[in-house]
Chain A
Amino acid sequence: MRPDQEIIQRWIEPDSRVLDLGCGDGSLLANLKLTKKVKGTGLEIDSDKIQTCVERGLNVIEQNLDAGLWNFQTDSFDTVLLAQTLQALSHPDQLIDEMLRVGRRGIVTFPNFGNWKSRVYLSSKGRMPVSKFMPHAWYDTPNIHFCTVRDFDALCKEKNIRILERTVVDLKHEGSLSMRLLPNLLGEIAIYHIARS
């Protein structure tokens, strides 16, 4: 299992209800179902990934996150996950609100644009960073709302959202002491466990 998934799994209570926004091929949900016996549902728009979820026996709903979570009742899930999808949303702030309406807690992971590599790329080349990690040209990218660890901290503060836990890892999804000390500079992927205040 990927270390970030291992971190997420630690935060999920056994037998709880989990909603995975942008669940992909359902590997995380399948794992949580196996190890934590969660009652899970995933939202996805990629038809091949939806098919994989169906074949895995997962509940998956074809739904665009930009349309919101209007069809989900308040407090109908214990945890709502948003893994590596925040930056691709039209209104990430609104979806965060929705996550914490539908679920008691939320888990958000995103690529940290404040990482030193992005900073160096932008300051030295003067162009939007393109890398293996962020492979898209600026005009043709699904990632329209990049943010940094500090940006997300500020958003949580503004929205009065409690950060239960925050951790950053590198692209191998591994953490280190230096990353813990300088998360916005060294962290490549940020992982937040959040809740309503």
Chain B
Amino acid sequence: MNDDSTGDGPPVPGSQWYDADAGPLVRPYAVTGGRTKPGPSNVRFDLIALVVVDDEPPGPAEEALLGPEHRSLLALCRAETQSVAELAADADLPVGVVRVLLGDLLESGFVRVSRPVPPAQLPDERILREVIDGLRAL
């Protein structure tokens, strides 16, 4: 899973001193500055929480201050409303890292995060019906 994160160009056989077993070349939490939890807002991003670009995001000047990983996440959100899981897969970053980065984006007002359906109140019958019909029609 990590072999594609190792740089440019085709690898010359025998030239690599590390392999997939060595883990990613850049430690995942390096891009979060070592933070393993989202910031003070204390949001727990569910895997299927949907991330939407804020209607009134901060200006380009502030965006320029973001790191490359923050910006690539933001670009993915702009393209389409996506779940945390999809963002992680598309950005090729572990979910834990994406949660921290999204916490930053949420706090600085770039994105909003929708809460998934809480366990106690599963969707009503009408929605389930719609899901069943939708599956049939696929």
Are A and B genuine complex partners?
Answer: no
Residues of A at the B interface (CB closer than 8 Å) are none
